[in-house]
Chain A
């Protein structure tokens, strides 16, 4: 369990590098949410009692790279985690297309909720990059799920 969790936190730092440094240097307003894919993977492959603490701790780390009010980032992602936990009874999450659609929808929803809780006018002029970001978030979600799946299998053996 600890080896898996340590690896996941290692991946989290790579995610931050991609989200906050690499992608904004390519197109400044673009934000691609890699973490949603990790949440989907947590729901599928990791027990709830390990998944939720990971999401809480990881989002506290993500909070350090945002100007959002302290607690807002964990709040949004924990809500996403819980919503995903409910959705898993309705949707076959192991399917890559489901992961893509859910990744895109959740990335979009989280941006909208964050804007709604702060200042909805903040979205003015950023709708297009937000949609593009959501599409890319959807595309990377299955990849993130696959990475977590491979890690989990590797450490189980």
Chain B
């Protein structure tokens, strides 16, 4: 009887704890306790991986230098070619600037202030798509900070502790980004599906959407700067009984391959 009572007490306590947690909100994972857990794991991961990193660097920096001389020659040749190309591009850039000035074109894409970070862990579940990166509030990361890589949008920060940040990837079912199709300027919301395909929603049946169209951020809501690449339209399904077309978008960034990312700082023009 006593054993049974203990079980009931423990169960009631566990259920009460869960109800309290659920009532805290969807992304309460920035709470102090959970931040400390991530901080602890950050230290643990660094300590555990340090010998492996050391060995990998040793291998990479010394053992794999056999072909370096040949590579050096090739690269020197490439650098020379690039220098010539750069001179041509420099000329084109200055010409472009002159033309813009003549058209009084306002440059909305000011230089992004980028904060580099590396991937620490991925989500422990298969359903949710989040990642933890090795930079946090001390490195300038903050909640809702857009995270990108050179190919396009990766996601946004949903929790930040001093040395780590949790990033909600654009493929997560909870992710939604205001977007436009670059060529036709059709607006919609890009939502994650949990798989490697995104869904562009609220696109009307009569809107002009073609397979291969580039989808970029619209800058609405003020989280993502305007004009960042999200992906390309992969498929358009139109059903006359529905109001909106079903548009599938392939993200520019292969989420399973991301290693290095950049957070975009606050001093960026984000309005539409």
Contacts and interface: CB of A to CB of B under 8 A. Distances in A.
Looking at chain A's contact residues, the main secondary structure is helix
B123 A69 contact: no
Given A52-B10, A122-B173, A126-B194, A115 B127 contact: yes
B24 interface: yes
B195 A122 contact: yes
B124 A48 contact: no
Interface stretch (B64-72, B87-95, B128-136, B202-210): B128-136
B41 A71 contact: no
Contacts of A133: 126
A61 B31 CA distance: 12
Interface residues of B, number: 55
A115 B194 contact: yes
Contacts of B29: 63-64, 67, 70
Interface in B96-126: 120-126
Contact of A64 (B26, B41, B194, B195): B41
Contacts of B31: 70
B34 interface: yes
Interface string A105-116: 000000100110
Interface of B: 3, 6-7, 10-11, 14, 17-22, 24-29, 31, 33-34, 37-38, 40-41, 44-45, 48-49, 120-130, 132, 158, 166, 168, 172-174, 193-197, 255-257
25 contacts: A16-B41, A19-B124, A20-B121, A21-B45, A21-B49, A21-B121, A31-B124, A48-B6, A49-B6, A49-B7, A52-B11, A65-B38, A65-B121, A67-B174, A70-B29, A71-B17, A71-B21, A111-B126, A119-B173, A121-B173, A121-B194, A122-B127, A123-B194, A125-B195, A125-B197
